[in-house]
Amino acid sequence: MKRKFFSSAVIVVLVGCGSMANREAMPEDFVVVNEALPAALFEIRYYSDNNFLGTKVDGYEKPFCVLSAQASAALAHVQRDVQQRGYTLKIFDCYRPQRAVDHFVRWVRDVGDQKTKAEYYPNEDKARLIEKGYIADRSGHSRGSTLDLTLARTSDGTELDMGTPFDYFDTLSNTADPRIAEKKKNNRLLLKTAMEKHGFVNYDKEWWHYTLRNEPHPDTYFDFPVK
């Protein structure tokens, strides 16, 4: 979600057409993380209807995690470290095309669609999700070095309990929310410590949201599809 705004933002449209392969559509310094980190788990939520919109999101043509090469390389170090402790990364979203962000905004404005309220925003007014910063018309994800993820046990793939689900629009999702039980707070800290060690910065309103500190495209919002 993903809340940083840049008034001087540049939106770059790089859309593959016809039979053009994704390697041709992506900038040269982007990679498919599913290939770079085969031991990680991937549940790309916006490729399915298992998300807060309740439908597949525009721009997600394949269930891939795409990131800048720099972010992918840093993430590989995180994966190595957590595996040594019996965990693996589980990734929900990475690069997000601008058209997907636009889809989010249209969803918010369709206030009659409340089918996911009980699961994703039970305590919030959908009409105020933009005003309150849960949804934005520019997302750090579109710059290519931000991702949403959690930790899971290597043994069986079970996610660690982080106190709230991914994309739960509530202050309980704040990384350091004091109401979260100690064990769940420690799980959040485990992820945060591993990510920060290798150059990622947490967005403190969302325990799952991390951006590479020295991201290579800090002012560019891409719109090529994930495919």
Q: Find the CATH number of the domain harbouring 92.
A: 3.30.1380.10
Q: How many structural domains compose the chain? A: 1
117 in any annotated domain: yes
Quick check: is 206 catalytic?
Answer: yes
1 in any annotated domain: no
pLDDT (tens digit per residue) in 58-116 = 999 999 999 999 999 999 999 999 999 999 999 999 999 999 999 999 999 999 999 99
The range of the structural domain enclosing residue 130 comes to 10-222
Which is the catalytic residue, given 159, 182, 206, 215?
Answer: 206
pLDDT (tens digit per residue) in 61-72 = 999 999 999 999
**How high does pLDDT run on average in the chain?**
91
Per the CB < 8 A criterion, the answer to whether 53 and 107 are in contact is yes
What number is the average pLDDT over the span 192-220? 97
Give percent of the chain with pLDDT exceeding 90: 89
2 in any annotated domain: no
pLDDT for the residue 223: 96
5 in any annotated domain: no
4 in any annotated domain: no
pLDDT for the residue 26: 86
pLDDT for the residue 5: 31
35 in any annotated domain: yes
Question: What is the pLDDT confidence band of residue 24, given thresholds at 50, 70 and 90?
Answer: very low
Closest CA to 219 of 149, 145, 147: 145
pLDDT for the residue 25: 77
Per the CB < 8 A criterion, the answer to whether 49 and 56 are in contact is yes
3 in any annotated domain: no
| 90: DSSP letter | E
Where are any strands of DSSP class E within the chain?
10-12, 30-32, 41-42, 66-68, 87-93, 146-153, 200-202, 209-212, 220-222
Closest CA to 45 of 172, 206, 165, 162: 165
140 in any annotated domain: yes
